[in-house]
A and B are shown apart, each in its own frame.
Chain A
Amino acid sequence: MTTLKESLIQTTCAYCGVGCGVDVALAGNQPTQLEGMPEHPANYGRLCVKGTHLLDTISNENRLSAPEINNKQVSWSEASDYVASEFSKIIAEHGPDAVAFYVSGQLLTEDYYIANKFMKGYIGSANIDTNSRLCMSSAVAGYKRAFGEDVVPCDYEDLEHTELLILIGSNAAWTHPVLYQRIARAKRMNPTMKVVVIDPRRTDSAELADRFLQLKPGTDAALYNGLLRYLADNQLLDDDFIAKHTDDFATALAATQSWTIDEVASYCELSRHEVSQFYSEFATSASAISFYSMGINQSSSGVDKCNAIINAHLASGKLLKTGSGPFSITGQPNAMGGREVGGLANQLAAHLDIENEQHQSLVKRFWQSPTIATQAGAKALDMFDAIRAGKIKAVWIMATNPMVSLPNTDAIAEALKACELVVVSDCVASNDTLDYAHVKLPSTGWGEKEGTVTNSERRISRQRAIIAPFAGAKNDWQILCDVAKKMGFSGFDFTQPSEIFDEWARLTSFENNGSRQLNLSALAGMSSREYNALRPIQWPCIKGDNYQHGQVFSQNQFSTTNKKARFIAITPQLPKQVTSSEYPLVMNSGRIRDQWHTMTRTGKSATLSTHITRPYIELHPKDASRLGINNDDLVRAQSKVGEVIANAKITDSLRAGECFMPIHWNQQFASSANVGKLYSSIADPISGQPETKFTAIKLQPVEFSQYMDVFVNKQSNCQADLTAQSDYWLKVNASNCSQYQLAFNDVIADALYWCQQSSGIKGQWSGFYEGATQRIQCIANGRLVFVAMVTNEQVTTSIEWINHLFSQSALNFAQLQSLLTATPDEEFSQGRQICSCFKVREKPIVDAIKAGTHRVDELGLQLQCGTNCGSCKTELSQLIKRHAVIAQGQQIDVLVTV
C-alpha cells in the first residue's frame, strides 16, 4: 500500500459572516480532516457545529454536471453563446435595464467584482442586486448616512475588551456561535463586563445575559431614541466629540424629545426599571458595543433603527475606541465583499456612489469601459416586481435561492414564470429556483473555488480549493467572463482570480487620496504566488509605513465631505404588516443552530440535521391553550399572502401573541414550510431590505387522516413519487437513510402496496398491522432498505434508530422484530440530540444534572457534551436551570457558566 501524500490547506468557512479560518488536511487529493485555523484572528482555532461538519457537505449528491438549456445538456460553449446572444438581443431591443443579475453573498469577491463590472460598466445598467439585500442592506445604509461610507467601525477584539455588550436583534449563540463563545470567554475573564440581550424572544443568547429586555417587536429605535434623550438629560454626552466630529446633533436630539423613560417603557412594553437601568449602564460603562444583526435590519424602518443605535454611540463618544461601537454583524461569508465591490443596485463600486458624476467618471476611466450606470438599479424586491411586470426580461441568478429567501414566494414564482429568460448558475442540480430556469449553469461550490472573502470585521481571507471542481462545473467569474467576451466586451480577459483581485485592489486606491476608507493599495501588484499565500488581513491596507492595517477613521475623520459624522433624526416606526382580528398573531423568523440559509448545503449533513429535525412554529402557551394546540401538533399559519404548515412548539420564551419559525426549510425538504411565504413584499424605503421579522398571521391545528414516517436508503430515488402523492411532507437526511414524514387527507388502505409502488423497491417486504397502525419494512440482499410507520395520529420515529438499522450489513431477526413492534434500542430512546459533535442526547445530560452536576464544564467532563465546538453550551445551561435540584440556600446563579 502506498502512503498518500499528506498536506494542509487553509481556507475560510462557508457559512456566516464571522469568517472563521479552517485547516483542511488532505491525504492525496482527498480532504480527510477539518479543524479551526489556530492563527486566524476571527476564530483562533474555534469552529461552530456547522463549520465542524463542513466536510459532510462536500458531496456530489444533487450536483449539476453540465450546462442545460431548457433541461437539455449542452456544451459550455453553446450555453455561453446562448446566454450572450439572448442578453444582447434583449438589450438591443429593450435597453440595458431590461436585464438583471441577482447575485449572492456566497460569491467570492472576485466573482462579485466581475458581475458588478459587467453589469455597471459594460451592459450599462445597475440592475445587479444581491441576497445581502435581505440581511444587511439597512446596516449599509445606516453606516453610510452616519459616516459617509459603509464602514463597520469595530473589530472582534473589541468584543473581548468591552465593559458592556448589548446584543440587540441578534441570536449570536446560534447565528454567530464563534463570536458568542468569544464573548462568553471574555465575560468569564472580566467579571465586571455586563451583557444585555434585547430581543422579543428569549433566545439561547439570553443565557449569558445579565439583563434580558424582552421588548415589543420593532420598537428598538424608540429604545435608542430614549437613550439619546437620557444621555442629554443627564449630562452624560461626549460634548467634545459631538462638537468636533459630528453634525446635526440638535435635530437628532429634538426628535427624541417625547421619548421619556416612561414613554419608552410603555412603547417597548418594558418596565420603567428595565429601561432606566439599561440607560444608566450604557452611560456609565467605560465602553459599550451594540452588536446587531437581522433583528434590526430586517425591518421596514431598519435603516432608522441602525442610525438610532449609531446616534447613541456618537453622542456618548462610544465608538472608534477599544471595546466600543455600533457593530453590525453580517450573516453570509462574503456579504461584506459584495458591499465592497458594489454588488448592490444602489452602489457603484469600491464604496463609490452611483449618482455621483465624479465617481461615475472615476470608475469608467479606471475600467476604460464603454459605459457606466448612472442611476440606481432595481433592488431585490423591485427587481422581481419589474420581472413580473415584464420590464426586466432576462435575469441571471447566481448562487442564491430567491424562491425560498425572498418574501411573498408566490409572487416570486409568478415573476420567474413570466420572465423570458431565467439563467441560474448554482452548485446544486435542483432547488426551488432552478425549477424555473431556462438555462442552468453548473458552478463550483465551496471547497472548489479560489478567491477572497471579507468578514464582519473587514478582514479579507483567502478561500482556497481543497478539491477539484465537480464534473463540468466552472467558477462564477469564468462563466461571467466567457459571456461578457461573447457579448463583445473587452476587460474580461482574466485567467486567474489573482488577476481580478489585483485589478480590484487597484480600483480601491485609484484617485482615493484618503477619501475612502476602503483602500487595498498594499495588496495591489501581488504575484499569483503572493496572492495564494495571502494571510488574513483587515482593511484599510494602505501602502506605506505610516498606515496601520485595519485602522478606520483615524483621528475621528469620517468619509463625509466635511469629515464629520452625521446624527440622523429618528422617528420610530412600528412594522408595516399589522395584526388584525383576522390575523391576530405576529410571526417572527430566524435561523436555528445547525442549519444555514435554505439548507442546500447543511441539509446534506446528517449530523447537522439531528439537532432540530423538522421545521416548527413556536407559540406561547397562552395562545396554544386558546387555540387548542398541543406540542408537536401540525399547525397551519396563514398570513394575507401565504400559508405554511409545521409542528407546533410551545414555549414561554416568546411573548404571548407572538410566534417564531425558522427560515431554512425549502421545497426540497418540506411541502410547505417556507416562512418567506408569509411575508408581504414590504421593504425599508431607504435600503430596500424586506420586513421579514414581523407579519400578521392566524394559526390553526391541521389534522390529517393518516400519517406515515417513511425511511428509504440513500440510493433510492423515490422522493418525487413519495411526496407527490402526499398532502404534507417533510424530509430529513441521515447518514444511511432519508426520512419522509408524510400525511394524507385520505387514508391509504393498502399501505404495503402503496409503499411498494411509490418506492419502486423490490425485496423481502414484511409488515405488522393492528388497526390503523401499520409498520412496513423491506430487506434486500440482507440489508434494510425501506421502513414505513403508519398511524392515524402523528408519531415521530427516532431517525437515529432507523439510521442505525440501515447501517447494518445484515439485519437480524431481533432487529426486524424491533421494527415490527416499533421498539427502539435503549440507546436510541435517549431524547433529543443536544451536542452534535459528540452526539450526546438529552436524557443522560438530564440524569447527570439530577445527580448533582450543575455546571456546564462539569457536564463536559462527564459526558463530553459542549467540549468541542461549544455551540450547545447555552442549551446545556438551560437544561441545568430546568432540571437542577437546588439544595436549600444554594444560589441559582452559580449554574450559569457558559
Chain B
Amino acid sequence: MNHKQRVVVVGNGMVGHHFVEQITSLINPSSDAEVTVLSGEERLAYDRVHLSEFFAGKTADDLALTNEQIYADWQVRFYTNAKVTHINREKQQVTTSEGAIFDYDKLVLATGSFPFVPPIPGKDREHCLVYRTIADLNAIKHSASSSKVGVVIGGGLLGLEAANALKQLGLETHVVEFAPQLMGVQVDGGGGRLLKDKISALGVQVHTSMATEEIVDGDSCRYKMCFKGGETLETDLILFSAGIRPYDNLAREFDLAVGERGGIVINDHCQTSDQNIYAIGECALWSNFIFGLVAPGYAMAKIAAKHILSSHSDCAFTGADMSTKLKLMGVEVGSIGDAHGRTQDARSYVFDDQLSGVYKKIVTDPAGTRLIGAVLVGDTSDYDNLLQYHLNDLALSVAPESLIFPLAPTADTISIADLPAEAMICSCHQVTKHTIEQAVLAGAIDLVGVQTVTKACTGCGSCKSRVNCIIEHCVTEHSLAVTQAEPKRLSDSALIPVTELA
C-alpha cells in the first residue's frame, strides 16, 4: 500500500472512541494509518455508563471521555455534527448529511443503538422522552421543570438509572415494567423481588406486570397511562427505557447483511459482509446476539483495530462476559454469567435474607464444581470473588453453598496469588492480571498509575478492589519502592521484560 491506510470511524460513542484509542495506540500515526472520526452528535465521546451523574451535578465536560486536544495529539481527524448518510462501497467513500465525502480503506461502523419506544398510542406526546444522549438529558431536565410526576416505562438497568434521574430532579417517580420483575436480564425472580422492595423503599413506586395500552390526557396530571386490566396512572412526564435497537440503517440501505431482528452481522474479526467494513458495539450482531454492555463493545473495538492493522492477526471476538456490578440508587446489584441458571442441569444455591435485605444466588455446573452464574442484590461484596471463579473457570475447592451462606464457617475467597497470570481482571478493557503486574513492575505502583497505563478500572469500575489487591501483592512481593519514574502508557507490544527489572 503506497498511501497511509485511511480508517474512517462512523460514530463517536464509547465504543467508537475506544476503537480510536486502541488503533492509535497500535500505530505509528505518522506512517501507518490515518484515522478519521465522523460523529453525528454535537460533541465528542462521553461516558454514557455514568450518564445519570449529569443530574447529580456533573457537566457534559465531566462526562467527556476525550476532547479535541487529545484527538489532535493522537493525530486523529474528527468532525462533529457529521452524520453519515451514504456509503459508496465500490468507491469506498462515505458522504455526510452536509455532503462532505470521505474516502476510506477501512470503514468502522460504531453507530450504536437507539432507545426502543413501544408502539403505544400517545407515545409521541411532547413530554414522552427517551434517555440516551446528553441531548435527551437536557430535554428531560427541561420537561421536569414543569412536572410533578414522572414515569419510566421499563424496569431494566437503564430504566432504573432513568428513574433515579427523575427522582433526583425532584419528581414523584414511578417505574412501570411489563415483566413480573425488575432487571429481568441481570437478576432472577428472587433478586428482582428484593430489588423491587428496596427501590420502593427509596421512594420510587414500582409497578410490575403492567402493560401500557394508551397514553391519554390526564385529570390531575398532564397525561394518564391506561394499563391492560383497567388500572391507570397519572403523570406529567414519561421516559421510555424499554430496551435498545441497533442503529443499522446504513447497513440496510447499502446492502450489508443484517440480522432478522436487526443488527449488522459481523464475523469473529468484526467484519461485516463487506470485508472492508467493520461494525462494533451495539450496532453489531455477532453470533445472532447484540451486546448491550460497554465491555463487549470495547473488546470488539480492540479486535477490529488489530485486524485492520494486520489482517493476519489471529485475535478473534469470542463473545463476552455479561457480568455486571452496579449500584442503583444505592442498591448494590451484581450479575454474573448464567444468572438465571438456564444451563442444562445447572444447580443453584440461594440465600435470601429478608431481615437484612440481601439476596445471593450462585449457579454451578451439574457437578457443582464450577461457578457459572450468580445474582447479588443488596450486598455485592462477594462479587469479585465469585467473578474470578467464573471468569477463570476455577474449580470450587469447597461446597458451593459455602461461598454465599453466612453460616458457612469460613468464606472461601481466592487469593490473588492463586490467580493464573491470564486471569481477566478488567472485563471492560480486557486487562489481565499479568498486564497489571507488568505495569506495576514497570513503575505504576498505585491505582491511578495502573489506570493510566493499562486502562484497567476505567470502565465500569467494578474491578477496583481486585486491581488494588494485585498492586499491593505485587509491590509487597517485589519490595518495590514507592518512588518510581512517571508511568508511561503501555501497550501489549511494549511490555517490559521482567528480566530488565531487578
Q: Which residues of A contact B (CB under 8 A)?
A: 750, 752-753, 756, 762-771, 779, 811-813, 816-817, 820
Contacts and interface: CB of A to CB of B under 8 A. Distances in A.
Interface stretch (B110-118, B312-320, B342-350): B342-350
B485 interface: no
Interface of B: 189-190, 193, 341, 345-355, 366, 399, 401-402, 405-409
Contacts of A756: 352, 354
B350 A763 contact: no
Given A750-B189, A816-B405, A817-B399, A763 B347 contact: no
B352 A816 contact: no
A885 to B, nearest CB: 41
B349 A812 contact: no
8 contacts: A762-B355, A763-B353, A763-B354, A764-B406, A779-B407, A811-B407, A813-B408, A817-B401
Contact of B353 (A752, A765, A767): A765
A763 B193 CA distance: 15
B183 to A, nearest CB: 16
B345 A765 contact: no
Given A750-B189, A817-B399, A817-B401, A767 B349 contact: yes
A204 to B, nearest CB: 45
A812 B408 CA distance: 8
Contact of B350 (A765, A779, A816): A765
A752 B341 contact: no
Contacts of A762: 354-355
Given A762-B355, A764-B353, A766-B349, 13 more contacts: A752-B190, A756-B352, A762-B354, A763-B355, A766-B351, A766-B401, A767-B349, A768-B349, A770-B366, A813-B407, A813-B408, A816-B407, A820-B349
Chain A interface SS verdict (over half):
mixed
A812 B190 CA distance: 24
A768 B351 contact: no
B332 to A, nearest CB: 18
A747 to B, nearest CB: 14
Contacts of A769: 341, 347-350
A853 to B, nearest CB: 41
Contacts of A753: 189-190, 193
Contacts of A767: 348-350, 352
Nearest to B360: A766
A820 B346 CA distance: 15
A764 B355 contact: yes
Most B Cβ at <10 Å: residue of A762, A770, A817: A770
A765 B189 CA distance: 14
Contacts of A812: 407
A269 to B, nearest CB: 54
A810 B34 CA distance: 70
A770 to B, nearest CB: 5
A764 B193 contact: no
Contacts of A820: 349, 401
A813 B409 contact: yes
Contacts of A752: 190, 350, 352
Nearest to A780: B355
A812 B402 CA distance: 12
B371 to A, nearest CB: 15
Contacts of B409: 813
B197 to A, nearest CB: 12
Contact of A765 (B341, B346, B352): B352
B345 A771 contact: yes
A766 to B, nearest CB: 5
A762 B352 CA distance: 10
Contact of A766 (B193, B346, B352, B355): B352
B241 to A, nearest CB: 25
Nearest to A769: B348
B191 to A, nearest CB: 11
Contacts of B402: 813
A770 B400 CA distance: 13
A756 B193 CA distance: 12
A779 B399 CA distance: 20
A766 B353 CA distance: 8
A594 B158 CA distance: 62
Given A752-B190, A770-B345, A771-B345, A764 B351 contact: yes
B338 to A, nearest CB: 13
Contacts of B352: 752, 756, 764-767
B484 to A, nearest CB: 46
A813 B345 contact: no
Nearest to B359: A765
A184 to B, nearest CB: 52
Nearest to B341: A769
Nearest to A752: B190
Contacts of B353: 763-765
A733 B407 CA distance: 28
A813 B350 contact: no
A820 B399 CA distance: 11
A513 to B, nearest CB: 78
B218 to A, nearest CB: 34
